Amino acid sequence: MLEIDNQTVTVRGNTLTIEEVVRVARHYRVVELSEESCRKVARTREYVEKLLLEKKVVYGLTTGFGKFSDTYISPEDTRQLQLNLIRSHACGIGAPFPEEVVRAILLLRVNALALGYSGIRLEVIRLMVEMLNRNVVPVIPEKGSLGASGDLAPLSHMVLVLIGEGEASYQGVRMPGGQALAQAGLAPIELAAKEGLALINGTQVMTAVGTLACRDAQQLANWADCTAALTCEALRAVRDVFDPQTHIVRPHQGQRQAADNIRSLTSGSRLMTGQGEVRVQDAYSLRCAPQVHGASRDALAYIAGKLEIEINSATDNPLIFADEEKVISGGNFHGQPVALPMDHLSIAAAELADIAERRIERLVNPQLNEGLPPFLTKNGGLQSGFMIAQYAAAAVVSENKSLAHPASVDSIPSSGNQEDHVSMGTIGARKARQIVDNAYAVLAIELLCGAQGADFRGPELLAPGTRWLYDRCRERVPLVDGDRVLSGDFSVIAEWMKGAGVLEELFAQIPFHA
């Protein structure tokens, strides 16, 4: 059953936020077009019709595409040209994107077209809006985009459904695209001049994947501070390193936020120690948590800023400026402005998992865990406890290192060398999404290990903030008092962490930079 959000997102082309994208993609918020956008779209389409009547040579209107840009197409063939474009470009490969990603793609494409620089008819955009509101979800294969001439292949699969072809899901059932439209009470459209190109020239696939991954990574950064705080208590860490004085003199915003968060979470703890009480200083995975987490926080703030610009940009080619009666064939479809942030997102998320795995090692290793039982089990030898939990975390972290290799440094020329530099931004976004998901698994393992350590230390000695984490964890996963299959426990905690609004109760109790 759909979780309907009855609030409405009004699409204007230049005001959409990451949070609104998330609400539409995941929580089915209703979408509507602003009246101003409708006027702009209609005005630009009038100018396109004028160019067609005058038989002007305009890329994508009266010419072929890519290497065929110098080939003139007669007005009577323009509709066939658009249809051929979509069919020939629907070359996607692999498993389909999740429903939430496709819904985000549809929304972002609607938003870009609503700016009124694409020359598309208003009725086409309205069909896409209704597909969102009635949850007709095109089946779009994940692979096949170079991220340069727009996300051509995946967006073509989206457009197939608009014309009654391809495949879509409706009410959770996969079926032919025309059937999905009919069951939702919608009719397919016939593409007119410029419309096929307008629908597939853009970065909306990489941006949709990246937007959802970035939002999840921002939540991941909050969880990283939480799991680190619980680990600090379980390992009786030195509290002095979170003193604001240290972080004021190196005033990176993310570092200060992470230090403040861990300090708030551990405030009132009877397990944390002062400098020199148990040891003078901790290992880097504890002592430098604010610096490492903070760098990822700063990266995510930068990435989110770039995504919000891209979300509200015109990425079509050619762009049509009806008021100036000008058509410019440029390169706004190139994904480089998103590709570089996506590679940065991969690194930022991978590092949150990387340092968390080192904290897991300290929790389970009897040479490092300051009196906790080996591998957090009372019956070591007969039982293995969390020994292989650390293996699993290490395996995922190692996988992330491979995935974090930047996609944007690669380029393969295409279209007869006309498109001779590409961004690979969609590949970068997909890799970032996988890394974020892997990182949640690692933090779930750290949280479970931290809770197990707290059980041995005494949960009553925890600070209020970390006690909240411990209690919520134990509501879902009981103490591991004998060897059992842990895989399901990891999954339960990871999925709980990903849930919307999970940490809001905690944030209401303690100061926290979310």
Tokens for 64, please give them: 């072929």
CB 400 within 8 A of CB 354: yes
Q: Say what angle helices 152-162 and 122-133 make with each other, to 10 degrees.
A: 90
CB atoms within 10 A of CB 508: 8
Please measure the distance between the N-terminal and C-terminal CA atoms of the chain and give it in whole angstroms.
Answer: 30
Bridge partner list, 173: 170
Tokens for 478, please give them: 């009981």
| Pairwise CA distance, residues 468 & 461, whole Å | 12
DSSP class of residue 459 equals: G
Catalytic position from the list 28, 47, 59, 440: 59
DSSP class of residue 236 equals: T
| Pairwise CA distance, residues 121 & 129, whole Å | 13
CB 72 within 8 A of CB 57: yes
Closest by CA position to 43, among listed 136, 114, 130: 114
Q: Is 284 known to be catalytic?
A: no
Q: In the block, which residue shows the tokens 């994947």?
A: 209
- At residue 305's C-alpha, the angle toward residues 213 and 406, to 5°, is 55
CB atoms within 10 A of CB 175: 16
Report how far apart, in Å, the C-alpha atoms of 184 and of each of 48, 162, 257, 266 are: 31, 13, 47, 52
Tokens for 313, please give them: 């940009």
- H or E element at residue 63: none
Report how far apart, in Å, the C-alpha atoms of 9 and of each of 24, 33, 120 are: 8, 9, 21
H helix count then E strand count, the chain:
19, 9
Q: In the block, which residue shows the tokens 């760098």?
A: 295
- Classify 173 as helix, strand or coil: strand
DSSP labels for 325-386?
TEEE---TT--HHHHHHHHHHHHHHHHHHHHHHHHHHHHH-TTTSTTPPGGG-TTBTTB-TT
Catalytic residues: 59
